[in-house]
Amino acid sequence: METTSFKRSRLAFAIAALCIGSTTSMAGAQESAAPVSAEETVTVVGQAARLRTSLNQQRMSDNLQTIVTSDSINALPDANVSESLQRLPGISIERDQGEGRFVRIRGLGPDLNSVSVNGTQLPAPEGDRRAVALDVLPSGLVSSLVVTKAPTPDMDANGIGGNINIKSISALDKDGPFGKAKIEMSHNELVDKTSPAGALSGGTTLDLGTDGARLGVAAALSWEEREFGSDNVETGGAWDFGEDPAVLEEIEQRDYLITRERLGAALNLDLELNPDNLLYLRTMYSRYSDDEKRVGNIFEFEDHLAEGATGSAEVERELKAREEVQEILSASLGGEHRLREWLVEYSISASEASEKEDDGLGGAVFVAEDSFDGVGFRGTRKPDVSGPASLYQATTFSLDEVELADSEATDEEQNVRFDITRDLSFGAHPGLVKFGAKASQRTKETDENVWVYDDFESAGISADRLGMENFAGGELDYNPGRVGSDLKADAIRDLVSGLNKADYFDEEESRINDYRIDEDITAAYLMGRVDVRGLRLLGGFRYEHTDLSAEGTRLEDGEFLDNRVSNDYGNLLGSLHARYEIGDRTQLRASLTQSLARPTFEQLSPAFVIEDDEAEFGNPNLDPLESDNFDIGIEHYMGPTSAISAYAFYKRIDNFIYSTDVAGTGEWADFSEAKTFDNGDTAELRGVELAVSHKFSSLPAPWNGVIVGANGTWTRSDATVTSTDDGTPVRRNVRLPGQSDTTGNLTLGYETDRASIRLAGNYKSDYLMEIPDVADERYDLYEDDHFQLDLTASYYLMDNLMIQFDAVNLTDRPYYAYTGSEQYNAQYEEYGRTYRLSLTMTSF
């Protein structure tokens, strides 16, 4: 299918005409005497150690961005890039096993944002997503993190929420040689494990002795191996609200033991031939290993049970054990050349991300011969299961099924771009015109092979070898109650290793999850900027054309067919930014921009599964989400280390994507179920951001060391979703999935020349996770609100030697998700507190 979309082009042209038209009308004016950079930022630093420098950057910048520097990252107990970003206004994070992972900007989900390293967009390791899990990247590799909330035309348009650009270290940013070394030990109280970490970074600038030429060399290396765990009890939303009180169909207990290893490296070379000519090579590599073991119980009640009641239940013991390895490699080669009033920039970049799992134990299931009587639970938020003692006896269960899997997902992107800037002076008003183009090619591939071993006795394995006692270890420590004995993954793998794998190959599961998606994007833009007294205007437009092709498998009533589809669309996007100075200390900012977000790879998947009157499939013909964005704000500077800001924003999003059931309509008229993805009509997001940073340096000692930082974001959203209920169309108004009404941070700190202490609280309110049934809001899944308190204290033993203590999750806050209302559990998980002690040596 081919379509070409020029939606909202009138607005794009209007914005372009307003800015470019006013600029070109003065093209005959004299040239600017001094170059003016086209890269502008609004800086709001989360708890920065150097407030003066950060606030000065904010005051002089143009378009709406948020930055956290390496000083800020080190000032709080944030182990990875995701956790560093959560301190900023409008930013919240999704956690996995208690660690920050994916980033949300202004309440919009991670797949609606883009991530880049040194300006090069990063692909995603996970097979079905565009979102990059930022816990993959150690914070020790980062020079600064730049979150753009209002893009300029010279930026990629992808990212309705915004873009996160990770800048690695550069020697040209330093005066002379520099270096930093850090060693660390952390302890997780839930599993009583201690884990090591370390980081090393440094660089220098070499004088080449030819016309002022110099070479900047900077490198960084970071490593961490962390052992921790979690205790979980979840229903997955399996409540039946047709009864009063609600009754439960199924419940699971899970005990996790996890080892995560992060290895990161960066090498940057900057060759400055002279002040007007620069060549560079910027690279970053990250390897993330997640070795996870999960032992659990699954209780399926024969008659759905209310709290406090008992009945019969079928019970399974299950073990999952797998190691996933994610890798990201990014490299960019480019140059910058100043030719009088012209600035020419170009780059060739390549990035690759992958996720691989070898011999993963997707599930070893142990079953009992009979169901159990007298099984029940107490508590609907944190259910505590009770039952006969035989529930936890290894001799009660025997091995019924083993699933092993190998999988690999790769995401590769190559791009080439050039940008040309012409500095101009329109009478007494300096300005510039900038234009350029970019071409990128992206390929996403997934490949999975699954083997399911069952009917062991037919394979010659005797029943006595299948007893769970042959695979059991000691009793597990499980806080929500009792979960039973540990299980040994190696013993299970040894049991099936002698069987012929070909006999157990699951062709359906293996083939249906394999696909390839090619996405080619070509883009061009034109923008201009002009200063008129206290007013700066920057604006223009960008056009992006997307060609998509997808290859996958259609499984229809047991028959495999190849499925190939294509799609084609174009988007013209405009933007206008204004900054106006009101006196020496106050300035106004406003932005009118347009952006887009392409569907995720899961949503675009060409896979079809059709069996009898049920179907499940992706939708490669989805339109991208398109957004008109408006931002307006005011900033006031009370002094060199104090500022307060307020922003209001509004987004109108067309074509937002949601999961739906189209059974009973069109070609699916005779189906009872047909699950897919579709474009919605229009959604709206509006909100307010407030931020304040202040160091009380003007107060008499000891109060001059007090630091306060606070920010809050309040958002609201409206969207409409549709589905069918017994063939009847159903529509419902909802808030956007992933959007928290309130997020905020409060940091209280105290600093002297040698000592520093900071107490930081982070809060986000509940948000909608999933809509299982459009027709019945009682089954909507929500993540509960979350407040976490962290502490950092540091002391300089010598001028260049610092010791630091971190306490993470001081209040031992668990993760909680619920179904419909807060009293009904979907998932409860607790992680315990983590303590870290580190020693850092710096040399500048």
User: For residue range 328-370, what is the model confidence (pLDDT) as tens digits?
Assistant: 999 999 999 999 999 999 999 999 999 999 999 999 999 999 9
User: Which token pair is 443?
Assistant: 């390929």
Q: How far apart are CA 743 and CA 711, in angstroms?
A: 8
Both tokens of 768, joined, read 């909608």
Read off the pLDDT band of 326 (50, 70, 90). very high
Radius of gyration of the chain (CA): 28
Domain boundaries of the chain, sorted by first residue: 9-843
Report the pLDDT value the prediction gives residue 656, as an integer from 0 to 100: 85
In the predicted model, what is the mean pLDDT of residues 705-734? 85
Whole-number Cα distances in Å, 427 to 35, 340, 578, 580:
16, 19, 20, 20
Q: What span, in angstroms and rounded, lies between the C-alpha atoms of 170 and 167? A: 9
Q: What is the mean pLDDT of residues 667-671?
A: 88
774's torsion region: left (phi>0), alpha (psi -120 to 50) or beta? alpha
pLDDT digits (tens, 9 = 90+) for 433-442: 999 999 999 9
Amino acid at 573: L
Cα 219–chain centre separation: 25
* Pairing between β-strand 535-556 and β-strand 608-611 as defined by DSSP bridges: parallel
- Sort strands 162-168 and 113-117 into parallel, antiparallel or unpaired: parallel
Neighbours of 418 (CB within 10 A): 13
Tokens 């080449």, located at residue: 208
Q: What is the mean pLDDT of residues 386-397?
A: 91
Judge whether residue 31 has pLDDT over 80: no
Q: For position 728, what pLDDT does the model report?
A: 78
Evaluate the CA torsion angle 577, 581, 582, 588 in order and state its sign.
Answer: positive
| pLDDT tens string 570-614 | 999 999 999 999 988 899 999 999 999 999 999 999 999 998 889
445 touches 44 (CB < 8 A): no
What CA–CA distance (Å, rounded) separates 790 from 744? 14
- pLDDT tens string 127-153: 888 888 887 776 666 777 888 888 999
Query: CA 630 → CA 42, 92, 527, distances in Å?
Result: 16, 21, 18
CA gap 594, 650 in Å, rounded:
12
pLDDT of residue 460: 87
Q: Considering only CA atoms, which of 358, 412, 519, 552 is closest in space to residue 125?
A: 412
Question: Quick one: how many helices (H) and strands (E) in the chain?
Answer: 7, 43
**Predicted confidence band of residue 667 (pLDDT cuts 50, 70, 90):** confident
3-class secondary structure per residue, 394-461: HHHEEEEEEEEEEEEEEEEEEEEEEEEEEEEEECCEEEEEEEEEEEEEEEEEEEEEEEEEECHHHHCC
Residue pair 544/573 in contact by the 8 Å Cβ criterion: yes
Residue 598 · residue 621 · CB < 8 Å? no
* 49 has a pLDDT exceeding 50: no
**Domain 9-843, CATH class in plain words:** mainly beta
Nearest residue to 326 (alpha-carbon basis) of 613, 623, 163, 123: 123
Written as six digits, the tokens of 756 are 């520093």
> From CA 60, how far away is CA 43, in angstroms rounded?
9
Query: Model confidence over 451-470: pLDDT tens digits?
Result: 999 989 888 899 999 999 99
Q: Specify which residues 813 forms β-bridges with.
A: none
Mean local confidence (pLDDT), 87-106: 84
Predicted confidence at residue 24, as pLDDT, reads 34
Does residue 169 have a pLDDT over 80? no
Tokens 């961005």: give the residue. 65
**Average pLDDT for 784-799:** 92
pLDDT of the residue at 44: 32
Does 34 score more than 80 pLDDT?
Answer: no
Which residues have a Cβ under 8 Å from the Cβ of 545 and sit 6 or more positions away? 521, 522, 523, 568, 569, 570, 571
Burial 272-299 (b: 16+ CB within 10 A, else e): bbeeebbebebbbbbbbebbbbbbbbbb
| Per-residue pLDDT, 373 | 94
**How does the average pLDDT of the chain come out, rounded?**
87
Enter the tokens of residue 815.
């993760």
Quote the pLDDT of residue 697: 79
Residue 92: strand pairing partners: 104
Strand partners, 695: 707
Look at residue 16 and tell me whether its pLDDT is greater than 80. Answer: no
Which residue, among 630, 621, 516, has the nearest Cα to 567 in the 3D structure?
621
Q: What is the pLDDT of residues 250-276, one digit of tens each?
A: 999 999 999 999 998 999 999 999 989
62 — pLDDT class (breaks 50, 70, 90): low
Q: Are 535 and 439 in contact (CB under 8 A)?
A: no
Give the three-state DSSP class for 213: coil
Please enumerate in sequence order all residues whose Cβ is within 8 A of that of 67, keeping only pairs 6 or more positions apart, or say none.
Answer: 41, 43, 44, 45, 54, 57, 144, 145, 146, 147
3-state DSSP call for residue 88? coil
CA dist., res. 60 & res. 579, Å (int): 10
- Which of 455, 462, 470, 190 lies closest to 317, judged by CA? 470
792 with 808: CB under 8 angstroms? no
As a whole number, mean pLDDT of residues 630-646 equals 87
Query: Confidence band (pLDDT; 50, 70, 90) for 304?
Result: very high
Query: Lowest-pLDDT range, 23-32, 134-143, 227-236, 469-478?
Result: 23-32
Q: What is the pLDDT of residue 172?
A: 84
Beta bridge partner(s), residue 748: 708, 759
**Averaged pLDDT, 698-725:** 86
How buried is 155 (Cβ within 10 angstroms: 0-12 exposed, 13-18 middle, 19+ buried)?
buried
The two structure tokens encoding residue 300: 């399926």
State mean pLDDT over 812-841.
94
At 82 the pLDDT is: 78
What's the mean pLDDT in 94-113? 85
Phi-psi region of 491 (alpha: psi -120 to 50; beta: other; left: phi over 0): alpha
Res 702: pLDDT = 84
Question: What single letter denotes the amino acid at residue 834?
Answer: T
- Exposed, middle or buried, 822 (CB in 10 Å: 0-12/13-18/19+)? middle
The predicted pLDDT at position 844 comes to 57
Query: By C-alpha distance, which of 76, 5, 79 is closest to 598?
Result: 5
What distance in Å separates the CA atoms of residue 581 and residue 75, rounded to the nearest whole number? 32
Residue of 305, 290, 295 lying closest to 251 (CA atoms): 305
CA dihedral 764, 780, 654, 554 (to 10 degrees): 120
74 phi and psi, to 5 degrees?
-75, -15
CA–CA gap between residue 534 and residue 513 (Å, rounded):
57
Mean pLDDT over 558-576 rounds to 93
Q: What is the pLDDT of residue 78?
A: 66
Q: What is the reported pLDDT for 7?
A: 43
Percent of the chain clearing pLDDT 90 (strictly above):
60
